Amino acid sequence: MIYKIFRSNEWAELERSGTTLGAPVDLADGYIHFSTAAQAHETAAKHFAGVEGLVLAAVETDPLLADLRWEPSRGGALFPHLYRALARAEVLWAVPLPLDAAGHVFPENLQ
């Protein structure tokens, strides 16, 4: 399982159109950035600090394998990058990612 953090407008556009090439940073880099469960908290803190209205989306990796690459990023850790559009139908679940005084609140069972 891998995870994508969407801003509310990005999530709304995916819901409306059925596919996305990602956020502006994804478009600039040429792939959609994802995180593992272990990486998602740091991704939120680094790239979405103080941002409200986020949505956390879970995606199963198996259907993406032909277009999914694990590439080094922060500190040499391997991050999943999708080199094609993501379809809304590929999102297994999505939940709000609320913000509290300590940062974003993730689901307890994130794996």
pLDDT at 78 (0 to 100): 96
Q: What is the pLDDT of residues 76-89, one digit of tens each?
A: 899 999 999 999 99
**Rg of the chain in Å (alpha carbons):** 13
Domains in the chain with CATH codes: 2-97 (3.20.170.20)
Q: Exposure string (b/e) for 54-64, b if CB count within 10 Å is 16 or more? A: bbbbbbeeeeb
In angstroms, rounded to a whole number, what is the distance separating the alpha carbons of residues 100 and 8?
Answer: 17
Q: What is the pLDDT of residues 37-91, one digit of tens each?
A: 999 999 999 999 999 999 999 999 999 999 999 999 878 899 999 999 999 999 9
Q: Looking up tokens 């198996």, which residue turns up?
A: 62
Q: What is residue 17's three-state secondary structure?
A: helix
Tokens of 4: 């994508």
Under 8 Å between Cβ of 92 and 59? yes
Answer yes or no: pTM beyond 0.85: yes
